[in-house]
Each structure stands twice: as structure tokens, then as C-alpha cells.
Chain A
Amino acid sequence: MKLKALSHYDKDMNTRFGDCIMLYDHYSLIMYDCGSERHAEEVENFLKRHNNINDVYIVVSHNDSDHTNGVCGLLEWLHENKQNSNVKVYTHQLLKYKDKITDKIGDKRRNRQSIGNAILEEFNNIKEIIDTARNFGFDRIEAKKDTKVGKAVIVGPSEEDFLEAAVKAIDKRTSDKVGEGDGSETYMNAASVQLECEIEDGNKILLCGDASPDFLPDHLNYNIIQLPHHGRLDNAKAIFNDIEKDGDDPQEKYYLISDNTGSGEKSGGSDDLVEYMKNEKYSPAFNTKDGVVDLPEQINTISSKQTRRPLGDLDCF
């Protein structure tokens, strides 16, 4: 598979285009999130250019609009223009867990119906995507851990983690944040659907939306890691520390940042992380803020410049 992570358009750094990461080969496309209609247009153009692709898998990491805003438009386009395609949508279908969520909340003033309504309200964007997919007759598949998505696989979160996220999002009696201070993350973000895929050069990538580092699988399995939440510094530092604690070298891995956050006051973004990585002598991450990211092409360019030589005299025996 190849990876193409979409960027901003026409030098417009103010608009929040959100995330859209494509994994593709000759016959299939996996689209991980689609945060704007402009991204959807780009995916449509891509599919027009790649006529052989008939399997289209759409993974929605979580409910935030900068990950979902382009999905329904793309589904409509697929319905109208790719009628013979095999389209599948993968996301958490929380209504299926209404009973478990009701039990976990344990608030006797709320019944299944009111919890169901709260789920639909809190996860409104996902509801719209599922409804749209259903209307067009596309498959809607629960994004459970270990579910295969074409040549990729969902590696998290666990059912326990995403149910916890749903409970925290719906139960207003408790905080909906995981972590502390600047490093805190809403549970809804923390439990983003995570996808693993091997790209053409054999490197394995982990895509993780806005997931909290605590919710991620073992980093050692991956050569390329998407630094979550558009390159939030505290999340990235936690991942680097975890890699080192596991005995690996965080500087030997490649990192992807999907930062099309625009210029809004609370948009976040990767500037602090980019500065940190520069000061700590990390190789720069592949960052959509700098343009479309194409892998493995961009890795190959770096690898061709790298050398490796032993310091020791291996003939000592």
C-alpha cells in the first residue's frame, strides 16, 4: 500500500481542512478520516484518476468535525459515480452498545431510551455518516479491534476503552477528560479508532486520529507513527518516552503529522512539536502542514542518503 496524507489548498493556511489520510494500491482505497468537503473533492479526483479502484473502505476515527465533515459528501459521490464499487464504512456504532453503556452509567434516572438519545446527540456526526451510508446501501461495519479493513487492520481501542469513552462523554456527572492539565484529552478523542497498515517498502504505520498515548498499542511494532491530535506536543513527548522505556530509540522511527488545523485561536497544531523535534535533533516529521505527504516515496528519498557502518572490528575472533 502507499500513503497519501492530504494537506491545505491554494496556500490557504487559515481554513481548518482537518485530516484525510489515504492508503491505496491498484485496486483498493482506505480513507482514514475526511475532515472537509475539499478533501472529499480531492479523494473523488483521485478515484477518477485511479479507475481500477473498486474497493473503497472509509474509516472514521471519531466524532469530531475535522475528521468527519467530508465523509457524507464523498459517500454521495460514490453512490452517484461508483455504483459498482464495494464501499464499506467502519466506525464505532455506539447504539449497539446502548445496554452496556446504560449499565455502566448506572444512573437510575436514565433509561435505555434516554441513553440512546444521548448517544445520537453526542455522536451526531457519526450518526449522520451511518445514516447516509445506510441510505445508499453501503456496508456499515463496527470498528472493533482486530477487524480487517482491506489490507489494513484496526488495532484499537479495545471495546472496554471506547465504551469508557462513550460513558464519559454521555454521563455529565463526571469529567469527560482523560489525563491532566495541558495533556488532558477528551475521552471521545482518546478512544479514536486506530489503524495499522504495511506500506510498500515494508514499513508498518500506525494511524491514530486524536487518540491519547495511553490508548495506543505497542509502539515497537511500528516504524512510522502518526503523532496524534494534529501533532500535539504533550502527546508526542509521551509517545517518545514510551518508546524509550520499551528499550527502543524514538529517533530511529519516522513520524507523520496531519496538521491542517488552520489559524483559529484554539486550532492547536504542530508548531510547538516541530520546534521541540528540531531542538532535540529528531529528523523532521512528515507534516501535512508542509504539503501532501506521500509514503514511501519520501522515506526512500531520506534512506538513500543514509549510511551505516560498524564502529567495531568484527574480525576480532
Chain B
Amino acid sequence: MIWIVSKATSGTETEMEARHHYIEEVTGADVSEWTEYIAGSPEVLPEYYAKSNDGLPYVFITAHTNEVKDIISRLPKIVGIKNYKYIKKIIINSCITCAIWIKEIKSSLYLIDLNAVIYYSKQDVYKPNNKTPLLVNYPKNVGTYGFLTTKSERGFFRHRNEGIDKALRKTFMRI
């Protein structure tokens, strides 16, 4: 599994260490160090990524809504041009904001010719005054994770011993 965290949401170095530990506990596998470089290239990415050695062809993205499409467009670079088409599931830990956004995310997969199932983190409804309600995802300082977590991330952790797929079904939304 590839775990991607945009730099805008990554928090401090200590929080990234805690997130690394979270991934180890959730997957029960060794996890590579966070990197911001594309393998074999000096190019610096606007996100960090790490790989958990669990054999699952999944990608887990934590980012602001407006960053998600860009990250998806960079998947061939991050995962490798030969490998990215084998990605089966993309888990997006972000806001949905509005229904049309899901269509845009799916279009971004289409643009890189990737046929993967998308899971989205569970959302809260935010009602701005006199405006259309938005679907938002608040990371909170809840529990002792050591970094700000969303409701879905916490649920994912609670169900980790049931296997990744079952935990995903229980704690994220398939769209």
C-alpha cells in the first residue's frame, strides 16, 4: 500500500512519525521512511509518501480537497509508470464538499487510464449561512494517535485486526 500525505496537511515532523507508527499498526507490516522524492530523480514532490510492505495494491491519500486531483495525476510518478495501473483501490481522506467533486475525482482517474475503486472518508455536514450544505472532513486531536485524525482514520485503526478490506468497508465510503 502507498500512503500519500500532502505537505499542507502533514503537520510537524513528530506528527509524521506518529502517522508512520499508525500505518505500521494498521497494516501490521514494515513501512518505508517518508520520502518527497520520486525514485531515481531529484524532483521534489508537494507530498510525502511511504510504502507499507503488505502486498496490497492500494493507495491512501490524505490531502486538501483541491490537492487530490493533482496527486492522482502524479500517481504514475509516485507508484511507477509500470506499476500504477495495478492499483485496485484508492482511499481518499479528505473533504468531498459537493457531489460534483466525486465526478471530478473519477475523471482524474480516467485521465491517467486507471480503473480503481474509490473509497472516501466519512463526512460531516457543514451548513454555512444561507448557502448549500457542504460535506466536510475534520481532522481532530482525539485520542492518543499523536497527529490529527479523521473519524474514518480512527475507525480504520479500531478495526485493523479484522483485515484491511473489512476495515475499509466499515469505516470509509465506497463511491
Q: Which of B32-40, B48-56, B95-103 contacts A (4 or more CB under 8 A)?
A: B95-103
Give B141-168 interface residues, CB cut-off 8 Å to A: 141-145, 148, 150-151, 154-155, 157-158
- The answer to whether the Cβ of B131 comes within 8 Å of any Cβ in the partner chain is yes
Query: How many A-B pairs with Cβ below 8 Å?
Result: 87
Q: Which residue of B lies closest to A249 (CB)?
A: B151
Give the residue of A278, A306, A312, A317 whose beta carbon is less than 8 angstroms from that of B141: A306
Q: Which residues of A contact B96 (CB under 8 A)?
A: 312
Report which residue of A252, A281, A309, A312 has the largest number of chain B beta carbons within 10 angstroms of its beta carbon.
A312
Interface string of B54-68 (1 = CB under 8 A from A): 000000001111100
Q: Which residue of B lies closest to A307 (CB)?
A: B141
Q: Which of B71-79, B111-119, B132-140 contacts A (4 or more CB under 8 A)?
A: B132-140
Q: Which residue of B lies closest to A316 (CB)?
A: B97
Q: Which residues of A contact B83 (CB under 8 A)?
A: none
CB pair B97 A313 closer than 8 Å: yes
Interface of B is mostly: loop
How far, in Å, is A201 (CB) from chain B's closest CB? 17
CB pair A251 B64 closer than 8 Å: no
How far, in Å, is A244 (CB) from chain B's closest CB? 7
Q: Which residues of A contact B140 (CB under 8 A)?
A: 252, 306, 308
Give the residue of B62, B137, B141, B158 whose beta carbon is less than 8 angstroms from that of A310: B137
Size band of the B side of the interface?
A: 35 or more
User: How many residues on chain A are close to B (CB under 8 Å)?
Assistant: 22
CB pair B139 A311 closer than 8 Å: yes
CB pair B95 A311 closer than 8 Å: yes
How far, in Å, is A300 (CB) from chain B's closest CB? 15
Bound together, the chains give a CA A244 to CA B63 distance in angstroms of: 25
Q: Which residue of A lies closest to B159 (CB)?
A: A244
Q: Which residue of B lies closest to A305 (CB)?
A: B141
Bound together, the chains give a CA A127 to CA B157 distance in angstroms of: 48
CB pair B132 A307 closer than 8 Å: no
Give the residue of A284, A307, A310, A317 whose beta carbon is less than 8 angstroms from that of B136: A310
- The answer to whether the Cβ of A280 comes within 8 Å of any Cβ in the partner chain is yes
CB pair B155 A311 closer than 8 Å: no
Give the residue of B93, B144, B145, B154 whose beta carbon is less than 8 angstroms from that of A311: B93
Bound together, the chains give a CA A116 to CA B109 distance in angstroms of: 74
Bound together, the chains give a CA A140 to CA B149 distance in angstroms of: 49
Q: Which residues of B contact A251 (CB under 8 A)?
A: 142-143, 154, 158
Q: Which residues of B contact A307 (CB under 8 A)?
A: 141, 148
Q: Which residue of A lies closest to B63 (CB)?
A: A311
Bound together, the chains give a CA A312 to CA B68 distance in angstroms of: 10
Bound together, the chains give a CA A281 to CA B128 distance in angstroms of: 33
Bound together, the chains give a CA A282 to CA B143 distance in angstroms of: 4
CB pair A244 B158 closer than 8 Å: yes
Interface string of A209-244 (1 = CB under 8 A from B): 000000000000000000000000000000000001
How far, in Å, is B145 (CB) from chain A's closest CB? 5
Bound together, the chains give a CA A251 to CA B155 distance in angstroms of: 9
Q: Which residues of B contact A316 (CB under 8 A)?
A: 65-66, 97-98, 101
Q: Given the known inter-chain contacts A311-B137, A311-B150, A316-B66, please indicate yes or no for A280 contacting B158, CB distance below 8 A.
A: yes
Give A22-38 interface residues, CB cut-off 8 Å to B: none
Q: Which residues of A contact B93 (CB under 8 A)?
A: 311
Q: Which residue of A lies closest to B141 (CB)?
A: A306
Bound together, the chains give a CA A224 to CA B36 distance in angstroms of: 42
Q: Which residues of B contact A15 (CB under 8 A)?
A: none
List chain A positions with a Cβ less than 8 A from chain B: 244, 249, 251-252, 278, 280-284, 305-314, 316-317
Some 5 contacts from A to B, beta carbons below 8 A apart, are A252-B140, A281-B157, A306-B140, A310-B95, A316-B65
